[in-house]
């Protein structure tokens, strides 16, 4: 009887250990094309990240996003090395609502994606450009008791994303200094370290009024397609030295294993599949002419048209190539 008990116990323990291993067995090296074999959601039609082209987004006039507890709430958080990224566990006192969101969303986690050079790193692409880093602040709907429960329902999660750019000419970003300096304290997978008294406003870009929004998924297994994405257009700035803290101080494995530097931890772009990307700001032309109003552009075209007795020209101006919003 006792022998049977221990056999059952050992089998259960081994099964639990195997389950934990499988849950964390995915990585960024053997590419995410294979994720769908173990995690079917990763092969869905609403996957993230995606490429965003500003000129192909739809302007949608809405109320502003409200960040409650981002500016005035100090967090005693924990920074952790998961083997995939650096995670900051947030205490849940900061909320996001407004902008057509159904209810409030509670911040629970911040994590980072970066490249080992300045050419790649961000998960999303903006106007054909990748940034060396992208920061995600994860939230879950207050309708659910926790993020795990919320992740099973459409619109249950909200991810606020920020691009990050760096250059030798940039000074250190003082707002992010506390986070950056603690990266070296979680060198190996499983390391945790307390981060005392900092505010989420450190992750705010200068311009908070221009962002993109679409429906997508988590960018890592199990790739739940229950995420509302809000991606700010303007990037944060950090110094090259701060960027290198991420590139040189973090390992994917624990202390007993061979050293593998963490980086290039971003998923390849996914198909848009007829999804609509909305923008909160409305430069009526492409980036090249965004500083000009449509009326000014139309005036210039009219001056050209004086010399062109061509009805097709005016059809193009007034119908085919006019902005979607007048």
Active-site residue set: 84
DSSP 320: I
User: DSSP for 154-178?
Assistant: TT-EEEEEEEEEEETTPPP-GGGHH
Query: Which residues are within 8 A (CB) of 196 and not within 5 positions of it... i.e. 6 or more apart?
Result: 76
Please state, in angstroms and rounded to a whole number, the distance separating the CA atoms of residues 290 and 296. 11
Structure tokens at 187: 């060198």
Question: Tokens 């397609």, residue?
Answer: 225
Alpha carbons 144 and 153: distance in angstroms, whole number = 9
How many other CB atoms are there within 10 angstroms of residue 164's CB atom? 25
SS3 content of the chain, % helix, strand, coil (to 5): 30, 25, 45
Residue 109: strand, helix, or coil: strand
Which 3 state secondary structure label does DSSP give 200? helix
Rounded distance, CA 111 to CA 161, Å?
10
Distances (CA, A) of 212 to 59, 104, 137: 9, 19, 15
The first and second tokens of residue 191, run together, are 């390391």
């Amino acid at each position: 009887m006792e022998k049977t008990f221990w056999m059952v116990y050992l089998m259960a323990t081994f099964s639990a250990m195997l389950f934990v291993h499988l849950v964390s067995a995915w990585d960024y090296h053997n590419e995410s094309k294979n994720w769908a074999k173990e995690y079917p959601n990763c092969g869905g039609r609403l996957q993230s990240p995606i490429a965003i082209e500003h000129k192909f987004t739809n302007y949608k006039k809405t109320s502003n996003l409200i960040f409650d507890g981002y500016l005035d709430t100090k967090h005693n958080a924990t920074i952790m090395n998961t083997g995939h990224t650096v995670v900051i566990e947030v205490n849940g006192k900061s909320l996001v609502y407004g902008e057509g969101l159904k209810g409030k969303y509670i911040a629970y986690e911040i994590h980072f994606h970066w490249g080992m050079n300045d050419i790649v790193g961000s998960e999303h692409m903006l106007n054909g450009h990748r940034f060396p880093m992208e920061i995600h602040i994860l939230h879950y709907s207050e309708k659910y008791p926790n993020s795990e429960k919320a992740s099973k329902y459409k619109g249950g999660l909200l991810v606020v994303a920020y691009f990050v750019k760096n250059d030798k000419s940039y000074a250190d970003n003082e707002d992010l200094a506390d986070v950056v300096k603690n990266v070296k304290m979680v060198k190996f997978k499983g390391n945790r370290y307390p981060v005392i008294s900092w505010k989420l406003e450190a992750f705010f870009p200068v311009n908070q009024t221009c962002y993109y929004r679409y429906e997508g998924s988590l960018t890592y297994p199990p790739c739940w397609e229950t995420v509302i994405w809000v991606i700010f257009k303007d990037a944060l700035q950090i110094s090259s030295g701060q960027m290198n803290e991420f590139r040189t101080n973090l390992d994917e494995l624990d202390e007993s294993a061979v050293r593998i530097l963490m980086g290039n931890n971003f998923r390849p772009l996914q198909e848009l599949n007829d999804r609509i990307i909305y923008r909160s700001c409305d430069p009526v032309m492409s980036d090249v002419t965004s500083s000009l109003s449509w009326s000014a552009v139309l005036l210039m075209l009219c001056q050209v048209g004086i010399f062109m007795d061509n009805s097709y020209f005016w059809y193009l101006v007034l119908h085919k190539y006019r902005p979607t919003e007048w």
